[in-house]
């Protein structure tokens, strides 16, 4: 999407640590599509920061999500982004799709675990990812963390993308395509209770495709940033029993040269206003100081390190910025 030129210019100024005259600092937050959790969570961040950090005006932007958010932060078009941990790890270390192109990012905090949810309609014949052959599957929007994770997980499970017809749709587009019968299944990597799946489940009989214990082990053995997870039953209409699947933590990243004092103030407000963030989505309960040091896949920004140390939390050497 096109971004207003003045926001880009001001965000770039912040990213380069150039003072913004009259004291107002504009912060652009890279989120995701409107059918997921990143966007409302990012809207909450924009609200609490604009109201509680003097001189800051923050805005949440609709983006292609994780991969795009890394690239935008690296370029300074946004200075803060919501990113899945697998994407953040490979971007920071220059691996995978970022091979040889280390991105200039650091972590501010860990948000919550994203849960892989592969949705199909009952009667589709898809009971496992091994049933994808010859089907039409949406693996997520281009540049999204969903598409990123889908490819890695399917590879670990021995499912070739060439064995089925790949569609690359956003969450809302995937839900609509399932309604219309133009796809057989779709990937969501998002906090459960996401609106696009809930809306679909009110009109159609959905099923969540489970992973076997062997498949979970293959995925977690292949990628240290993934964990086995049981999606609770009762979240979506018609899905009453727990569904074994895969999880990955989300990270709030920042452009690495963002001023230490600014990141310190933003993070302090985020922790102080956690109760409000939980009203936006209950998974915000995972956005804690303890999880910042136990779940972050990449080093923390100096501003985050400063605050955590003040709170009496030991930051391990692997998370100290170089």
Q: How far is Cα 38 from Cα 321, in angstroms, rounded to an integer?
A: 26
Per-residue pLDDT, 111: 97
Per-residue pLDDT, 13: 42
Per-residue pLDDT, 9: 41
Per-residue pLDDT, 143: 85
Residues 16 and 102 in one domain: yes
- Residue 46: how many CB atoms within 10 A of its CB? 21
Q: What is the CATH number of the domain that holds 166?
A: 3.40.190.10
Any residues with CB less than 8 A from the CB of 211 and at least 6 apart, and which?
128, 129, 157, 219, 244, 245, 246
Residues 202 and 301 in one domain: no
Residues 35 and 107 in one domain: yes
Answer with the one of 228, 248, 268 that is the final residue of a domain: 248
Residues 255 and 244 in one domain: no
Per-residue pLDDT, 22: 58
Across the 322 residues of the chain, what is the mean pLDDT of every consecutive 10-residue run? 40 40 85 91 98 97 94 94 96 95 98 97 98 98 92 98 97 97 97 94 98 98 94 97 97 97 98 97 96 96 98 97 90
Residues 206 and 304 in one domain: no
Give the global pTM.
Answer: 0.84
Domains in the chain, number: 2
Half-sphere exposure for 240 (CA within 13 Å, toward CB): 2
Answer with the one of 231, 248, 265 that is the final residue of a domain: 248
Answer with the one of 230, 248, 266 that is the final residue of a domain: 248
Q: How far apart are the first and last CA of the chain?
A: 34
Per-residue pLDDT, 10: 41
Locate 223 and state its tokens.
Answer: 């990628």
Q: How far is Cα 231 from Cα 242, in angstroms, rounded to an integer?
A: 5
Q: How far is Cα 106 from Cα 28, in angstroms, rounded to an integer?
A: 16
Q: How far is Cα 252 from Cα 108, in angstroms, rounded to an integer?
A: 5
* Domain that residue 12 falls in: 5-112+251-319
Residues 126 and 238 in one domain: yes
Per-residue pLDDT, 235: 96
């Amino acid at each position: 999407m096109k971004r207003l030129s003045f926001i880009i210019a001001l965000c770039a100024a912040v990213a380069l640590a150039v003072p913004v005259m009259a004291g107002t600092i504009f912060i652009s937050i890279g989120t995701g599509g409107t059918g997921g959790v990143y966007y409302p969570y990012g809207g909450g961040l924009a609200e609490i920061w604009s109201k509680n950090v003097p001189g800051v005006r923050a805005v949440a932007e609709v983006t292609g999500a994780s991969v795009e958010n890394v690239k935008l932060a690296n370029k300074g078009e946004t200075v803060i982004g919501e990113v899945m941990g697998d994407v953040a790890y490979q971007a920071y270390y220059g691996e995978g799709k970022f091979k040889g192109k280390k991105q200039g990012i650091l972590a501010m905090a860990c948000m919550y675990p994203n849960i892989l949810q592969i949705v199909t309609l009952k009667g589709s014949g898809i009971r496992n990812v091994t049933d994808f052959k010859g089907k039409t599957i949406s693996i997520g929007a281009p540049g999204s963390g969903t598409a990123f994770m889908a490819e890695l997980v399917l590879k670990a499970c021995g499912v070739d993308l060439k064995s089925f017809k790949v569609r690359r749709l956003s969450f809302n587009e995937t839900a609509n395509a399932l309604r219309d019968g133009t796809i057989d299944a779709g990937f969501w990597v998002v906090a459960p209770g996401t609106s696009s799946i809930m809306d679909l489940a009110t009109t159609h009989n959905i099923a969540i495709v489970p992973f076997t214990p062997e498949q979970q082990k293959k995925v977690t053995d292949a990628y240290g940033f993934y964990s086995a997870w049981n999606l609770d039953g009762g979240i979506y209409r018609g899905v009453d029993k727990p569904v074994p699947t895969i999880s990955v933590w989300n990270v709030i990243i920042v452009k690495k040269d963002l001023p230490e004092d600014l990141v310190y103030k933003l993070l302090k407000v985020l922790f102080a206003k956690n109760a409000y963030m939980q009203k936006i989505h209950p998974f915000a309960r995972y956005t804690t100081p303890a999880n910042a040091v136990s779940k972050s896949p990449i080093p923390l920004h100096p501003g985050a390190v400063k605050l955590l140390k003040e709170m009496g939390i030991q930051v391990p050497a692997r998370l100290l910025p170089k």
